[in-house]
Amino acid sequence: MLYHENVSVIRNESLTNDIYDMRFRSRDISAAAKPGQFINVYCNDSSRLLPRPISICEVNGEEIRIVYRVAGKGTKELSGIRPGEKINVTGPAGNGYDVDMINQTYSSVMLFGGGVGIPPMVELSKRLKIKTDVFLGYRDCLFLNEDFCDDANIHIATEDGSAGTRGNVLDALKASGVDADLICACGPLPMLRAIKKYAEESGKKAYYSMEERMACGVGACLGCVCKTVEKDGHSKVNNTRVCADGPVFDASAIII
Ligand SMILES: Cc1cc2nc3c(=O)[nH]c(=O)nc-3n(C[C@H](O)[C@H](O)[C@H](O)COP(=O)(O)OP(=O)(O)OC[C@H]3O[C@@H](n4cnc5c(N)ncnc54)[C@H](O)[C@@H]3O)c2cc1C
Ligand code: FES
């Protein structure tokens, strides 16, 4: 069920020079939200009609937390919203991770988050009951690294070597010597491709959360398709919609 609501922003503060932490309250969205799902956030400036998809970072009671990078005009506008101001949102959108299945099937998991692929991993780590190692990849400034579930082991990689392992999340994995049954990952395509190669070579099951460019955000325009291994039964093409059929996919089903 997708809810459309006009919500009051409770908080909207910068975590780094271009990363913002926004919170709003919605009883219905928070009750239905699963990790990996996202919120379509509408701009108040009517020249920007399309919603901006932002992952659910945390759900605390009725409060939803989203963490976003200022990437263009829409997110710039969002960064200027003050507590008490209202925005239109729809959510929870997309499919999310099947946490019950993961808890019942696997005994350990590695979560990989790169850049703005880190936020959805926070709520996922909170709901997992199995041994969890989290690998976080940053350019330089850290954010959210202290907000994961207390039981999760955190491993950091930075491109400039200012914290953790110098390099990417796979360099941090090598440095840690960690192994696990399952991989869940969200981040830029080059990171997902490298993790896919590692998962295939080591025979591990993997789920990826894709952050494809979107337009309508609700499955109507085909603006967000990604390639699939199998043909879609209805359209007979090797495509799937990230916004409606994803953003979380079984790695073996998609071509990246
Ligand atoms: C499922 C999903 C979850 C995401 N979660 C996060 C998150 O938690 N934090 C975060 O910082 N970013 C996230 N993104 C990326 C975020 O949606 C874009 O950075 C944002 O839409 C850019 O909007 P803009 O107006 O600032 O940029 P502009 O480039 O001006 O946007 C123009 C249009 O293109 C769309 N667009 C541009 N870049 C993207 C993109 N990467 N993905 C989808 N649509 C895009 C915009 O929504 C808008 O409609 C997510 C994307 C997806 C698909
Ligand atoms: S953005 Fe329109 S179908 Fe996905």
pLDDT of 18 > 90? The answer is: yes
139 C-beta neighbours (distance < 10 Å), count: 11
Closest ligand to 224 CA?
A: 2
Per-residue DSSP letter, 212: -
Closest ligand to 186 CA?
A: 1
For residue 52, give every residue at least 6 positions away whose Cβ sits within 8 Å of its Cβ, in sequence order, or none. Answer: 40, 41, 42, 43, 68, 74, 75, 78
Listed by start position, the domains of the chain span: 3-93, 99-211
The residue whose CA is least distant from atom 47 of ligand 1 is 52
In ligand 1, the atom with minimum distance to the C-alpha of 247 is 1
Q: How far is CA 209 from CA 7, 55, 62, 226, in A?
A: 26, 10, 24, 12
pLDDT for the residue 222: 85
SS (H, E, C) 140-199: CCCCCCCCCCCCCEEEEEECCCCCCEECCHHHHHHHHCCCCCEEEEECCHHHHHHHHHHH
Name all residues whose Cβ lies below 6 A of ligand 1: 38, 50, 52-55, 67-69, 71-75, 116, 119, 211-214, 247
pLDDT for the residue 99: 97
pLDDT of 38 > 90? The answer is: yes
Taking alpha carbons only, the member of 72, 3, 78 closest to residue 37 is 3
pLDDT for the residue 9: 97
Tokens, residue 11: 């908080």
Q: Cα(32) to centroid of ligand 1, in Å?
A: 22
How much of the chain exceeds pLDDT 70, in percent? Answer: 100
CB distance 171 to 165 below 8 Å: yes
The total number of residues written for the chain in this structure? 256
pLDDT for the residue 129: 96
CB distance 128 to 109 below 8 Å: yes
pLDDT of 52 > 90? The answer is: yes
- Does the beta carbon of 50 lie inside 6 Å of ligand 2? no
Q: What is the mean pLDDT of residues 97-123?
A: 97
Distance, CA of 191 to CA of 230 (rounded, Å): 23
pLDDT of 177 > 90? The answer is: yes
Q: Cα(97) to centroid of ligand 2, in Å?
A: 19
- List the beta strands (DSSP E) in 15-107: 19-25, 38-41, 52-55, 58-60, 63-69, 86-93
The class (CATH top level) of 99-211 is alpha beta
Helix runs in the chain, H state only: 27-32, 73-79, 99-105, 119-127, 169-176, 189-201, 242-245
Q: What is the mean pLDDT of residues 156-180?
A: 96
Q: Cα(227) to centroid of ligand 2, in Å?
A: 14
The class (CATH top level) of 3-93 is mainly beta
- Does the beta carbon of 222 lie inside 6 Å of ligand 2? yes
